[in-house]
Structure 1
Amino acid sequence: MKNRWLIAASAVGVHASIGSVYAYSVFKNPLETTYGWSSSSVITMFSIAIFCLGLSAAVMGHFVEKHGPRRAGTVAAILFGGGFLIAGIGTSIENLYVLWLGYGVLGGIGLGIGYITPVSTLVKWFPDRRGLATGLAIMGFGFGAMIASPIFNYIMETISIPATFFIMGSVYLVVMLASASYLERPPEGWMPDTMKAAVESGAQEVKQDLTQMTANEAVKTAPFWGLWIMMFINISCGIGVISAASPLAQESVGMNAASAALVVGLMSLFNGLGRIGWASFSDVIGRGTTYMAFFAIQIVAFIWLPSIKSALLFQVVLFTILTCYGGGFATLPAFIGDLFGTKQLGAIHGYVLTAWAAAGLAGPQINNFLREATGSYETPLYIFSGAFVLALVVSMVMQAYIKQARAKLAIQTQQAHA
């Protein structure tokens, strides 16, 4: 029997590697100035990666369930690490389309497979603390950019842009292959010793999931689409800020490029802390209440952000947004388990993450279009705040559904024991 905490560490290894995609904004200005590529062309590289992430997560969810986390993780490592290497070739020969192919298409597909592979496995290893488990793995994704951002910047400044892709692609390939080799599912119905003893003694009751559905059954339900809408809005608005974080900090409060790069890295720290913090907290207050908190906080934060002139206050509000953004991802797998069970959690997770694919196209492009049309980031931030009002309404409806379904399930359980 493998150690579940080492399984969690392996999951963090995979997610910390692929999470470097959120250090993308560090590449934006160097790619534009070095090769003369337009802002929209460079942003397209990031949009393609997120789009392919969402689609591959949806399509390959069944592959993960069928072949297991070790094989799926290996495939993810080859595609993501290899994508970085091809991106290095693209920048070496100054070919934008090869860069899109490597970083965007292949890297994005590796992102999608690598993202869902350890998460569905961890939920099964931590039946007693689902939120904590998914928060641990997805925390690594948030921390990935914090680690990568200064390293990317350093290699670009001291060597070159192609060297950055070649060196880091090789590193990610090794780390992800090593991490994937330890991933494995627990036996069916497995529980940790302390939980098993508590259940057998009657001191603890196993909390039932509302249903046990396949992915194709779940996608036909209203709660699935409620999750999809909430994630689409949370991701679109968050990515809109993340993709422009470095230039936004320079424009709004006058930071230089090096300071802005540091902000990008610190954003990733709070992105990661929000993932473990909010996901663990959701074990206490419930997933529905957690999402309502995300949206209420961000309605205020997005309205406030463009008027801030203090660099310190700007960072506090920005980092708060990032905790909610990261928390949305980390709480999602546990929410899916609560609603639809663990029967095909990986596949259902992949289906919901098509919202990430759509948001990857919508968020950066809307932000960039409005920025170029208005000359500032103020208008897109106000529009994003309005979108969070809709997300809050959906989350309230979801919370009402959960309470009703829990009450119905309790009655059915009592009748079955009568």
Structure 2
Amino acid sequence: MPQTALLPRPGLATTAPPRSARRIGRRIGRRRGLVAAAVVLNQLAYGSVYSWSILSAGLQARSNGFALGRDEAGLPFATAHALVFLGTVLGGTLMSRRPPRGIALLAGVLYAGGLLLAGCAHGRADFWLVLLGYGVVSGVGLGLGYIVPTTLLQRWFPRHRALAAAIATGGFGLGSVLSAPLTRLLVAHFAANPVRALLVLGGLFLVTTLTGAAFFRNPPHTQSVPAQRGQGGPDGARGYRPAQALRTRQWYLLTLILFFNTAAGISMLSVIAPAAGSLTGLSPTAAAALTGALGVFNTVGRPLWGWLSGRTGLLNAFVLMLTSQGLCLVALSQVASPELFFPLAALVCLSFGGGFATMPAVASDFFGLAHAGGVYGLMLIGWSLAGIAGPLLVSELAARSSYGTAFLVLGAVTVAAALLPRLTRRPAAA
């Protein structure tokens, strides 16, 4: 039998890539790793926002010059979450016009500078400094600092966008885990004036954010962006501008999906310590330890779902995340055992964190990478609204009835929201 069929066809490459091409590939690979490490270092500071409850407890103590009520002590955190959206919109708009390094440097200065300003307060009379510094200045810096690395890393890893977003947001989650014990130590040390802890944190975060941002740069060339398995999407070099995305129903559906996924996790976490005590009889010390442990699952959920979504499909991942969160919350409403309470709450946190890793990839898949920062920055209004409305709703339900009722209602709504990804279809190419 003739063997010509085994020979390569004319015109097909039969030799290895030129040495220069291999060198360029290795150089780009090293730069990818450096940018990814810089992103994680940069994001550690911003994750500290979830340690506010520790500082809030210090501000409520009667032994210092603040002695705030519970509602007053929560105002800086609520203000920061309300203004995150302003920072993400600004950052997303600038990302399509300016190099990422300068924007990230500005974000670090605003976030750390706001903490330093808040740390200058002496007592209740100066509480406005905490509101201005932590709530307004750091809130805008938080939004800026969050959106830039999330968009940048997807540009460096266009074939693995969900995993790239997971690395960026994973740094944010890791920051929440690492900052909690440090904040606790500082608040105990500065018991007479707890906001002095922000002076130390602000100085530390100024170093980490600016050091990480110094290595931010766009990839050396624009790459065509293949769709994830089973998905298409607009060409990554063109895509939708933010104003165009706002004229599509898909943008609103995706923002709703992000809202419900975020509300489920953040609402549970806002009351997790008193709810664990009420439903299972857990001691305050054990409930505080539970809160810290759940931060680990919030962090782990980001790379985990970033990896899983590449296998299930991005929208299918949200069906699974919303369904699992909803069912676990319904189960939590009936649980009386600490041994069951923890794993159910941990599963909620896995999906809560996973949503922040998966949605940036959905946004770039639907609307293209060219203006993904601006489009996703606008979508993060879902995060801001969930951070305000969700905890308020759960607290109100718990006050009127019980934590069991609050979790039952929240779980039922979240399960119903799992239908939204099924109603969402990719828009036509821009």
The bucket for the TM-score relative to the shorter chain is 0.7 to 0.9
Question: Are residues 1:135 and 2:162 paired?
Answer: no
Correspondence for 1:414: none
Taking the aligned partners of 1:231 and 1:341, their CA distance within structure 2 comes to: 18
| Contact 1:48–1:360 (8 Å) recurs in 2 | no
State the one-letter code of the partner of 1:259.
Answer: A
Residues 231-278 of structure 1, C-alpha deviation per residue, up to 9 Å, x if partnerless? 111222322122223333344334444433332222111111100000
Question: Who is 2:322 aligned against?
Answer: 295
Structure 1: state its 5+ residue gaps.
410-418
Task: Evaluate the alpha carbon distance shift between residue 328 and residue 206 of structure 1 in structure 2; reply closer, same or farther with a 3 A threshold.
Answer: closer
SS at match of 2:219: coil
Kindly indicate whether the alpha-carbon contact (under 8 Å) linking 2:120 and 2:196 is maintained by their aligned counterparts in 1. Answer: no
Answering whether residue 35 of structure 2 is matched by residue 21 of structure 1, we say no
Matches within 5 A, 1:333-352: 333-352=360-379
Q: For residue 129 of structure 1, give the secondary structure of its aligned residue in structure 2.
A: helix
Separation in structure 2 between the aligned mates of residue 26 and residue 186 of structure 1, nearest angstrom: 39
| More displaced stretch, 209-218 vs 101-110 | 209-218
Alignment of 1:15-414 (within 5 A): 15-34=43-62, 35-90=66-121, 92=123, 95-160=126-191, 161-190=194-223, 208-210=232-234, 212-374=239-401, 376-398=402-424, 401-402=425-426
The Cα shift of 1:371 comes to 2.8
Distance change (3 Å), C-alpha of 1:205 and 1:263:
closer
1:69-105 per-residue CA deviation (whole Å, 9 max, x = no partner) reads 1111111111111111222223556533222212111
Shift in Å, 1:205: 11
Whose Rg is larger? 2
Where relative contact order (Cα < 8 A, 6+ residues apart) is larger, the structure is: 1
Shift in alpha-carbon separation, 1:261–1:6, aligned structure 2, 3 A? farther
Percent of pairs with identical residues: 28
Instruction: Describe the superposition over 1:298-354 as per-residue Cα deviations: whole angstroms up to 9, x where unpaired.
Output: 121111113222223211111110111110111011111111110101001101001
Aligned to 1:415: none
| C-alpha distance 240-148 of structure 1, shift in aligned 2 (>3 A) | same
Could you list the runs of 5+ residues in structure 2 that have no partner in the other structure?
1-27
Code of the aligned partner of 1:97: W
> How far off is 1:124 after superposition?
0.7
Q: CA RMSD in A?
A: 2.4
Confirm or deny: 8 A CA contact 2:91 2:373 kept in the other structure: no
Compute the TM-score of the two structures, normalised by the length of structure 2. Answer: 0.85
- Give me the whole-angstrom Cα distance separating, in 1, the residues matched to 2:61 and 2:282: 19
Letter of the 1:361 partner, please give it: I
Distance 2:175 2:196 in 1: 19
What is aligned with 2:22? Answer: none
Shift, 1:216, TM fit: 1.1
Equivalent AA in structure 1 for residue 381 of structure 2:
T
TM-score by length of 1: 0.87
SS in structure 2 of the partner of residue 130 of structure 1: helix
More helix by share: 1
Change (3 A) 1:89 1:137: same
Deviates more, 1:118-127 or 1:204-213: 204-213
Pick closer, same or farther for the CA change 1:222–1:205 going to 2, 3 Å.
closer
1:6-37 CA distance string (max 9 Å, x none): 11111112222101111222233332234332
